[in-house]
Structure 1
Amino acid sequence: MRPLSYYRSLDQLWLGTSTIQDKWKSFIPNSHQPTNTYLSILGSLLPDQAVVSAISQLEHNTVLVQGQQVLAFTGSEPRPSQDSPFSDKRKVEYAGKASWIQHPEDLLIHQAEVLQQEIQPAPFDVEKYQSLGNIILSPSNCFIHPSAQLKGCMLDASSGPIYVGEDVNLQMGTIIQGPVAFLKGSTTNLGAKIRPNTTIGPGCKVGGEINHSIFFPFSNKAHEGYIGSSVIGAHSNMGALTSNSNLKNDLKPVAIFDYSLSKPRNTGIMALGLIMGDFVTTGIHSKFNTGSVIGCHCNISSQGFLPKFIPSFTWGEYPKVQTYQMEKAKQVASQWINLKHQAIPENLAQVMEEIWKEEASFRT
């Protein structure tokens, strides 16, 4: 799951209207396990009634699997032995079809279905918003929080629900085609075009055209340009006219760089744009090719297409780039966090050091 898993555990990945961890809060099983038994669940496992029921029925020292993938286990310790994990546990094969996030693009594969499931429309004062110049198609398929601000916008929920969360500000000329979720405190610029299957995370500011993408919290793409079939990490900022391709001219499946393989991996899917880590800034007119992967803590730009893989701590205008110096990168990351009025994590420097070491071979 690199580079998305550097600054978050798997259950903190964003999908639909929330993190995976938040999705589990409404599915937490009423376990019959004794108090001295630990229950551990795969962080990227997506909850549903069937898998929750199977997990809640696990006996002591049992592991639930689907094929080679461990879904959950119980035992006297919260983690299995590193020497022989699960060797002392009875294995139970899960008979249903479990869904979990194994690769970054899996978030996009599940996005449409999850948005449809999670957005719960609710009645609101339609005439109030119409008086402000808004056009809302299929308002019965929308949720608009009372604190949200909309003026001169067009919301089309006829083909999918639209969620406009707390303190969201949609500026004049914003056009939205559902299913789409704007989460707490997110905003649009004038004339933003938000197409289906998109999540704009908390505190994000977006503009231009965005299609079938997920923006993690506190990232900006405020100006014109196209971002499609992409996952954008937290605290990143795209300069004006930053765009990506998400479809190859020959319509062949897209390959992307895989950190675990240290080489490209064929995803088997046709539409895939950009996987971007946290704390990335791009210069104006930056162009990303189909299936690009960008690490964390990068400050990059180019007159032409950028490389399809850019390791973390890359600085400069391609092809003349250099290593982003650690102290400067820390300073810039802290400034972006402060800009969004967030607390700087105590482990920021530690995680940056770990990323630096892990990607040393990629930078050379």
Structure 2
Amino acid sequence: MLENVNFFNDPLLVQAMRPLSYYRSLDQLWLGTSTIQDKWKAYPLPHPSAQMSILGSLIPDADITQAIRQLNPNSVLVQGNQVLAFTTEQGQHQTPLSLAKNKIEYIGKAQWIQHPEDLLVHQAAVLRHEIQPAPFDIEKYQALGNIILAPTNCYIHPSAQLKGCMLDASQGPIYIGEEVNLQMGTIIQGPAAFLKGSSTNLGAKIRPNTTIGPGCKVGGEINHSIFFPYSNKAHEGYIGSSVIGSYVNMGALTSNSNIKNDLKPVSIFDYSQSKQRNTGLKALGLIMGDFVTTGIHSKFNTGSVIGCHTNISSQGFLPKFIPSFTWGEYPKVQTYQMEKAKQVASQWISLKQQAIPENLAQVMEEIWKEEASFRT
């Protein structure tokens, strides 16, 4: 339960998490089988007399939960310069800065998401921790031509549909959620998760450490990636070591590189620094915002960052940073007109049978203003 619990956004982290943080708060980032906020539901925080605020990108575990549970009212838990949580008395509106006198240093190893690629760093461990295998009628699925290796490492919801698929959970657990539809020839290597209402096309190849979010449709080859809800990569092509936002639609054969030819660490564009930042990772592909459409044969280089509301294609490799509201075929691109972008975004939301947010236009205007300098 999360009574009397708020999740707060650290402005510096919000900026560092662009473009993924435009349409969601930090606690709504997807990792493993759920959002960060949903993960906290497994860690009770009884504090009836106090209002508790937790850093939105803080990943819960037993130790950090215990430390937060022990906080007295009007105190703040920190690690270094990062505020992790603070408590106030009911009805009071204090800030961590005003509680500095009651600051407690957390001596454990807190884990919080600071950059987009951190989601991929934590992905494998979180999937293994969260997927809870459960018995199921394996003969039912075998009769439909499915091959399931290490079925005791699998969770398959009774409403899921599998036909002629191969699931290999021998090296990690596999989660097949409610109303998932896996078409013939789909191959999945665990750890991996297909969340509610997601589906595959014929012959999809899903490699380890991958999450396919609710309502997504995928095909081709996907490796060590996280797809946020309601995105499509339905055709052939390779997406690896990537985080893909919501309402993305990738044209056939869209692919990305995720390892440099010289095997050096990958750098990506950092919104908070307005320049490239060395991630220290040897494998990193795409960080893609929401409402992105790619043309067929689109090719992305290692460590590419794509802003929101872009409609792009190219005969060669696309630039490593493409700001929001970019439209056209490189190198001849122009600014995506706001009214057209609003219309297309609304159409994609409706296509996925979701309600159009009341603040859609407002958020789009904010993105437009914030990235004006990048577009020039």
CA contact (8 A) 2:76 2:99 kept: no
Deviation (angstroms), 1:25: 1.0
Instruction: Choose the corresponding residue for 2:173, options 149, 161, 166.
Output: 161
Q: Does 1:363 align with 2:375?
A: yes
Larger mean Cα displacement after TM superposition, 271-280 or 22-31:
22-31
Q: Deviations over 1:10-54 (max 9, x none)?
A: 0000000000000011113112x62xx321000000001110010
Q: Deviations over 1:71-120 (max 9, x none)?
A: 00112467644xx8235541101011110000000000000000000000
**2: distance between equivalents of 1:89 and 1:17?**
38
**1: distance between equivalents of 2:339 and 2:187?**
41
User: Letter of the aligned partner of 2:125 in structure 1?
Assistant: E
User: In the alignment, what sits opposite 2:182?
Assistant: 170
Which residues of 2 match residues 11-90 of structure 1 at below 5 A? 11-31=27-47, 34=49, 37-76=50-89, 80-81=94-95, 85-86=97-98, 88-90=100-102
User: In the alignment, what sits opposite 1:113?
Assistant: 125
- For structure 2, the residue ranges without an aligned partner over 5 or more in a row are 1-16
User: In the alignment, what sits opposite 1:135?
Assistant: 147
**2: distance between equivalents of 1:281 and 1:13?**
21
User: Letter of the aligned partner of 2:311 in structure 1?
Assistant: N
Q: Does 1:346 align with 2:355?
A: no
SS of equivalent to 2:188? strand
User: In the alignment, what sits opposite 2:284?
Assistant: 272
TM-score norm. by structure 1 comes to: 0.97
**1: distance between equivalents of 2:22 and 2:65?**
28
Which residues of 2 match residues 282-321 of structure 1 at below 5 A? 282-321=294-333
CA contact (8 A) 1:63 1:86 kept: no
Q: Deviations over 1:246-274 (max 9, x none)?
A: 00000000000000000000000100000
**2: distance between equivalents of 1:249 and 1:360?**
33
CA contact (8 A) 1:121 1:161 kept: yes
Q: Deviations over 1:151-185 (max 9, x none)?
A: 00000000000000000000000000000000000
Residues 1:74 and 1:87: Cα distance change in structure 2 (over 3 Å): closer
**1: distance between equivalents of 2:307 and 2:164?**
37
**1: distance between equivalents of 2:98 and 2:58?**
18
Q: Does 1:186 align with 2:202?
A: no
SS of equivalent to 1:86? helix
**1: distance between equivalents of 2:251 and 2:333?**
18
TM-score norm. by structure 2 comes to: 0.94
SS of equivalent to 1:334? helix
Residues 1:28 and 1:86: Cα distance change in structure 2 (over 3 Å): farther
Alignment root-mean-square deviation, CA:
1.1
Residues 1:52 and 1:322: Cα distance change in structure 2 (over 3 Å): same
**1: distance between equivalents of 2:59 and 2:92?**
20
Q: Does 1:332 align with 2:344?
A: yes
Q: Percent identity?
A: 82
**2: distance between equivalents of 1:308 and 1:49?**
39
User: In the alignment, what sits opposite 2:13?
Assistant: none
Residues 1:342 and 1:296: Cα distance change in structure 2 (over 3 Å): same
SS of equivalent to 2:277? strand
Q: Does 1:259 align with 2:259?
A: no
Q: Deviations over 1:203-250 (max 9, x none)?
A: 000000000000000000000000000000000000000000000000
Larger mean Cα displacement after TM superposition, 9-18 or 67-76:
67-76
